[in-house]
A and B are shown apart, each in its own frame.
Chain A
């Protein structure tokens, strides 16, 4: 379908502010009378706070107040506590102290006496599952989110479970979650090749460039929070709950955000700290967060210890998979990565028969929250190199073993036979193979040049990519402008604008006459889903579509009322609504907006549909009488999971003496339906690749098992990829086939573009090494050197916290 705006590049309205330094992030605001507060965080991985004596500190001139867990209401799980008397990881906030200056806060902290009783701790799930092993929390060692909500309990496996596994194998005691379909034994019996491996995927910190600094103050009963948030509308009710107020009394300002990657998707407990402190001391409070604090409270991706058995038919078809994942889940309910990983495996490789078992185990490490492709990207790192192993064993092309297993539009996957709205992973591979010149490049596999050897890799990843049921809101002003109100946040994808353009497209508006209204809850924003889960492109194109369609209908109704005939007799174009049979019978959008104000009722927002979320209803009421309102809840059809797939190809030159490699070529292809914004998509594919290279080959998330302290908190120690670690140019593309369940055919993409790059890197490294398979990520240069020289690795097969 030909569009005027969709699929075209444009200059997003926030980009100039980003290059001039005018973009204001949370730490860039100043408020008259602003005080500062600082977090005192636990120096121990697990402890009971016996006593906090702040009397001396509070007597210091300029010290304004202290907040401890006792001052705050308890938060029901799955919320995390805002402050705690049982710190469960090194760095968990115990108290905050406010003073006239930040330095004074730190001086005051020296005078606060905190009496901590150290408790048992663990940074290794298997250690915790062992009989008599330490529990990460006083409530138990297994915590998660089940069908009935959050749970925490104690689970120990038997010594027999451990002994039965054998040396270097994953013990597999009773699971917390399991499902199966088909006949596993028959599947393996029908297989020509069966592999059975353990694996490790390391946890990972998000390392957002902007620490989650927050500023809060109270005015006329409302609480103002300048937050570092990747989402705008969605966090409001949740942060209001953390603060203890009604959502309509929270002014939430999040126009810019310096990266979230899932960790700032919705409200997080620390975001409420300056609000509580401000209330207590009756001053605006800025809480700056340091790099180390960002590492600690900024959460992390869960790590996996696992075992996978896969059976292949001789043409490469996956006949059976038996998967067990022990998930390192941080100190509380964490994230269901392990369940999502199994779900992804079932969809991406469509095994004929499959069983999944898994258990989330608490550890005294930072909380686990979603991180780009939570579960899906870890499992891509596990499975893709194994496909190479099977392909070599069976003599099948490495591309063919992938495309023979890909899902398609008719696929019914997993134990529930789930549908997808559409799926073009195979086409993504085909497009990538052509751009990369797979047929020619694969012949370079293993080519030597001195100590250097070529490796050619490929891989894919998946994430679900959209939801439905949220609200859209637009207004045509009497000046003839289109205001597109969006509750989409600013996480750097420009999707606040690319999804808004759908409303302009539907109303046939010139983009120059459109204004995107966003970034501050006072601006009358609709209830939109958060910017997580690769969903925005699908979810909020739908909301903007229905809102714009509502505006179109109202334009026609107003024209029919004033000019005669029925609404169906009218059409729109050139910012006018006109009679199809007689275009001279017309009125401009500006005139219609003026008429909407005069007519009142639903036309200008005095009345609103009953199915709107209260946030949207409030926004409509706030705009009432100012123009022609288009507002609706998305009740469009949505049948099946909208998927996002990405496929990647990579060529590397690996130095066998150093274990270092140069990435010579990278091609990333997205299957995200209609492309909304080509430059934005290009950014996602390339940025995802950088992130994936970090996931596969660089980043460290390590805890010292003796003391439970982090060993890699900063950018350098954790080895975030730099310009020099990634190719300086990359190639991108998109299949671009419209999805039938979205009004403009769009689906999301942000997450799998990381996983596919990690998978392609691991595949390329293995290829350069003649098919050597590392059963863990990241693959570090020392592991490569050890493998090349036949030395034993410095870690055991299931060991975690390795460097």
Chain B
């Protein structure tokens, strides 16, 4: 499992989004599109008063655009906010789980472009301009399951299911990079995804089935 860091300021291919809008316009659009969930206050020092959202902290733009599951989502993000928290508490994407929030378990695995990363250990600001894929972004437009998801159903991959989204995201990344992995390849690729229920054998069966059927 590699932890990828991005520096969008130094990466001209992926400039920070939203530069064309004034801050006030951006705030309005955020409110209009409902990108900020209505659940009262949010985690991670996201400000307790409406005035605060308009303040750039430490010179870093807080209202940013993220490319999540193929859609641009505008969201208010403090500089030290992790991607897992943004996904879960700002964008309502709770399929990404927090098992440890410290880079040990892989429950929070998502894809940045095609690379699986631990979203609990990635700052949201660092993924501006990158394609973020979460488990919610895998199903086809008609709702049919991604081949990895389908294979995990057919092989009864999960037990409790808490590690499952992370296992699936790593498996999807593996099959994109290597459509015909050996079981050992899959085992190595998934080694950063813990499963306390011990469903490893079933997950590997799922990956191998997905590879076969894809």
Judge: A and B partners, yes or no.
yes
Interface residues of A (CB under 8 A from B): 9, 11-12, 14-25, 27-28, 30-36, 61-62, 100-104, 207-211, 256-259, 261, 288, 290-291, 490-494, 679-680, 682-683, 686-691, 714-716, 720-724, 726-730
Q: B198–A686 contact, CB under 8 A?
A: yes
Q: B156–A680 contact, CB under 8 A?
A: yes
How many angstroms from the CA of A9 to the CA of B162 in the assembled complex?
Answer: 22
* Residues of chain B lying within 8 A (CB to CB) of residue A682: 202
Contacts known (A20-B145, A104-B48, A291-B102); A722 close to B191, Cβ less than 8 A: yes
How many angstroms from the CA of A490 to the CA of B159 in the assembled complex?
Answer: 9
The prevalent SS among residues of A at the interface is: loop
Q: A19–B168 contact, CB under 8 A?
A: yes
How many angstroms from the CA of A729 to the CA of B205 in the assembled complex?
Answer: 9
B125 at the interface (CB under 8 A from A): no
How many angstroms from the CA of A722 to the CA of B168 in the assembled complex?
Answer: 16
* Residues of chain B lying within 8 A (CB to CB) of residue A689: 198
Contact of B160 among A210, A211, A290, A716 (CB under 8 A): A210
Q: B159–A493 contact, CB under 8 A?
A: yes
Q: A210–B156 contact, CB under 8 A?
A: no
Q: A34–B194 contact, CB under 8 A?
A: no
Interface string of B97-133 (1 = CB under 8 A from A): 1111110110100000000000000000000000000
Interface residues in B, total, Cβ within 8 A: 63
Q: A210–B99 contact, CB under 8 A?
A: yes
Contacts known (A20-B95, A686-B201); A728 close to B194, Cβ less than 8 A: no
B161 at the interface (CB under 8 A from A): yes
Give the top 9 A-B pairs by smallest Cβ distance, nearest first.
Answer: A21-B95, A690-B198, A258-B162, A18-B161, A492-B160, A687-B198, A492-B159, A103-B45, A30-B39
How many angstroms from the CA of A680 to the CA of B46 in the assembled complex?
Answer: 43
B44 at the interface (CB under 8 A from A): yes
How many angstroms from the CA of A721 to the CA of B201 in the assembled complex?
Answer: 13
Q: B40–A18 contact, CB under 8 A?
A: no
Q: Can you list 23 contacts pairing A with B, beta carbon distance less than 8 Å?
A: A11-B153, A12-B156, A19-B152, A19-B168, A20-B95, A27-B94, A27-B98, A101-B43, A102-B44, A103-B44, A209-B97, A211-B99, A256-B161, A256-B162, A291-B101, A680-B156, A682-B202, A686-B202, A687-B199, A688-B198, A721-B198, A724-B188, A728-B183
Q: A687–B105 contact, CB under 8 A?
A: no
* Residues of chain B lying within 8 A (CB to CB) of residue A28: 88, 94
Q: B164–A18 contact, CB under 8 A?
A: yes
* Residues of chain A lying within 8 A (CB to CB) of residue B43: 36, 101-103, 288
* Residues of chain B lying within 8 A (CB to CB) of residue A104: 45, 48
* Residues of chain B lying within 8 A (CB to CB) of residue A491: 160
B86 at the interface (CB under 8 A from A): no
How many angstroms from the CA of A730 to the CA of B187 in the assembled complex?
Answer: 14
Write the chain B residue with the least CB distance to A727: B201
Q: B94–A20 contact, CB under 8 A?
A: no
Q: B198–A19 contact, CB under 8 A?
A: no
Contacts known (A209-B99, A691-B198); A32 close to B40, Cβ less than 8 A: yes
How many A-B residue pairs have C-beta atoms within 8 angstroms? Tell me. 196
Q: A20–B136 contact, CB under 8 A?
A: yes
Closest-CB distance, A131 to chain B (whole angstroms): 42
Contacts known (A25-B97, A493-B159, A688-B198); A20 close to B149, Cβ less than 8 A: yes
Q: A19–B101 contact, CB under 8 A?
A: no
Closest-CB distance, A344 to chain B (whole angstroms): 22
Closest-CB distance, B186 to chain A (whole angstroms): 8
Closest-CB distance, B17 to chain A (whole angstroms): 25
Contacts known (A101-B41, A209-B194, A715-B100); A25 close to B183, Cβ less than 8 A: no
Q: A690–B145 contact, CB under 8 A?
A: no
* Residues of chain B lying within 8 A (CB to CB) of residue A258: 97, 99, 160-163
Write the chain B residue with the least CB distance to A694: B198
How many angstroms from the CA of A33 to the CA of B139 in the assembled complex?
Answer: 32
Q: B191–A23 contact, CB under 8 A?
A: no
Closest-CB distance, A224 to chain B (whole angstroms): 15
Write the chain B residue with the least CB distance to A690: B198
How many angstroms from the CA of A493 to the CA of B39 in the assembled complex?
Answer: 33
* Residues of chain A lying within 8 A (CB to CB) of residue B38: 32
Q: B156–A714 contact, CB under 8 A?
A: no
Write the chain B residue with the least CB distance to A689: B198
How many angstroms from the CA of A208 to the CA of B138 in the assembled complex?
Answer: 26
Q: In chain B, residues 12-47, which have Cβ atoms closer than 8 Å to a Cβ of chain A?
A: 37-46
B107, B158, B160, B190, most chain A CB atoms within 10 A: B160
How many angstroms from the CA of A101 to the CA of B104 in the assembled complex?
Answer: 25
Contacts known (A102-B44, A730-B201); A34 close to B39, Cβ less than 8 A: yes
How many angstroms from the CA of A726 to the CA of B149 in the assembled complex?
Answer: 24
Q: B98–A62 contact, CB under 8 A?
A: no
* Residues of chain A lying within 8 A (CB to CB) of residue B183: 728-729
Contact of B187 among A20, A36, A257, A728 (CB under 8 A): A728
* Residues of chain A lying within 8 A (CB to CB) of residue B37: 30
How many angstroms from the CA of A136 to the CA of B92 in the assembled complex?
Answer: 45
Closest-CB distance, A274 to chain B (whole angstroms): 15
